[in-house]
Structure formats: structure tokens, C-alpha cells
Amino acid sequence: MTDVSYEAYCTEIRSRSDELRAALKAGDPAATDVPSCPGWTLVELARHVGGTHRWAAEVVRTRATGPVPHDATYDVSAPGDAADPAALGRWVAEGAGLLTDALREAGPDAPLWTVAPGGTAHFWARRMTHETTVHAADAVLSTGTPFTANPPMAQDAVDEWMGFAALPRVLEAAPQDAPPLLGPGRTLHLHATDAADGGPEPAEWHVDLTGELPYWQRAHKKAAVAVRAPLADLQLLLYGRRAIPELETHGDTELLALWLERTSFWLRK
């Protein structure tokens, strides 16, 4: 597993927020549709990120013991004028500052409510890092600029996804008429073609869907379907920002598509 420090998460949140702000300045905030977020402009994307940062900051700052309503902090203070991207950019930076300040003040082990197993501020540092990164990628890609991954963070993002994908709620959230996810021979293999900085070799993940619950591990094993791609593309694939045909795949791509659909249910909530 990657060993990303708490401070590194805080730094990455600020860095990726700045990346989004730069894309906001470079593009036409009102007119630019964000291809990876259909129906959204850069303004709406920025408001979502800034609002989410403020909401998570409230969770951490108050050491919340239960869910915090989004409408209490979400984006009520966001500049509404798309003609002033600089003001919106400052608002995004302020939200990132509120979040990272709250995280640093709390410390990684502060107990509080989390949306998935974790129960400490560390969960929110990690979750908000990868949330911010994927939306920074949305903004950057909408301007026609390639997205550049931070390899250890991208590797950690895949690890986080694998943890969410192994939760029982992945099965519980499926419609009654959904095709079965689990069954004999259902295995997947994700193979990074680049290594995270400091890592001895590229990371590999094996997902076993043959038991009563999904199970994953870092391992090189044969599987019914395999994907080979750089870490950035693996992260974007999981978040629905890369299509399966765009990457090198071998085997049962229908199983891969089903797994991606079922494990991404929380992105659509």
C-alpha cells in the first residue's frame, strides 16, 4: 500500500485546487462544457468543488458525530457571476484553505463522522484529496490540456477505490433486476504501467468476485479481464473519465464494465 502522509494530502488539496483555478482562468467559465461532467460548465464545477470543501471543512471543524447537511455550508457564498472568474477562483482557494486549515488543526486521528469506514480526520484528508484531483482533471481536460498525475496519489486513489468497492453496500445498492456481480470465474486485474515515486515497481491490483463479498489485494494474478494503463488513466477509468476502449484490455470487458458500473454507485448519489 502507498504510505501517503497526512500533510501530503493537505498539500495536494491546495495544489489541485490551484490547478482547477488555473483552468478556470484559461477557459471560458460560462460557455465551456466539461465533457467528463455532462451538463456542467467550469463555473458549476468550481462551485461544486468549493462547496464540497466547505462542507467537509465543517464536518472536520465541528468534529461532527453524524451527517452534516450539505445545504448548511455547501455553496451559498459562491460568486454567481460567471463573468468574474477571478472572484470565483479566490472563492475556490478560500474553500481549500478552510478545509486544509481544519484538517491540520484536527490532526489525522481526531474522531469524527465519515461517510464510509474510517472515523477520523485522516479519512477526510484522503477523500477530499482524490475528490479534488478528479475534478481538477475535469477542469484541465476541458481546456484541452493533458492531465498529469501525482503517481503516489494516483496509486493511493486506486487503493481507496478498491476499499470502497469491497464494501457490502456495493451489493446492497444494486437494483433487484441487476445482473449478478459475484460468481465463478469473476476476477479482474489492474496493472499500472508506471511506478509511483519511490516504489520499486508498478502497482497491480487483483479483484476477486468469486466469494460472498468482493475481495481485493495488491497482487499479480491471472484474471478474467485485465487492464494495463498508466496510473493516471487507471484513476480516471475508475471515476468514469476514461472509456474502456481507450485503454489496453484483455479478456471479459463486459465484466469490467459491470464492475465499474456497480462500484461507482456512490458517485451518482
| Structural domains of the chain, with CATH | 6-148 (1.20.120.450), 154-268 (3.30.1050.10)
Q: What is the mean pLDDT of residues 229-241?
A: 95
Which three-class secondary structure string do you get for 114-151? CCCCCCEHHHHHHHHHHHHHHHHHHHHHHCCCCCCCCH
User: How do 204-208 and 215-218 pair as beta strands?
Assistant: antiparallel
pLDDT tens digit string along 94-128?
Answer: 999 999 999 999 999 999 999 999 999 999 999 99
Greatest mean pLDDT among 43-47, 114-118, 127-131 lies in 127-131
Higher pLDDT, 41 or 207: 207
In this model, does residue 33 exceed pLDDT 70? Answer: yes
Mean pLDDT of the chain: 90
Residues 252, 225 contacting (CB under 8 angstroms): yes
Over residues 57-75, mean pLDDT? 85
Question: What are the phi and psi torsion angles at 106 (to 5°)?
Answer: -70, -40
Label residue 189 by pLDDT band (50, 70, 90).
very high
Q: Which helix (H) or strand (E) holds 190?
A: strand 187-192
Write down the residue that cell numbers 465543517 correspond to.
Answer: 58
For residues 168-173, average pLDDT: 89
pLDDT of residue 32 exceeding 90: no
User: Looking at residues 205-219, what average pLDDT do you find?
Assistant: 96
Q: What is the pTM of this model?
A: 0.93
CA angle 200, 206, 209 (to 5 degrees): 170
pLDDT for 37 equals 86
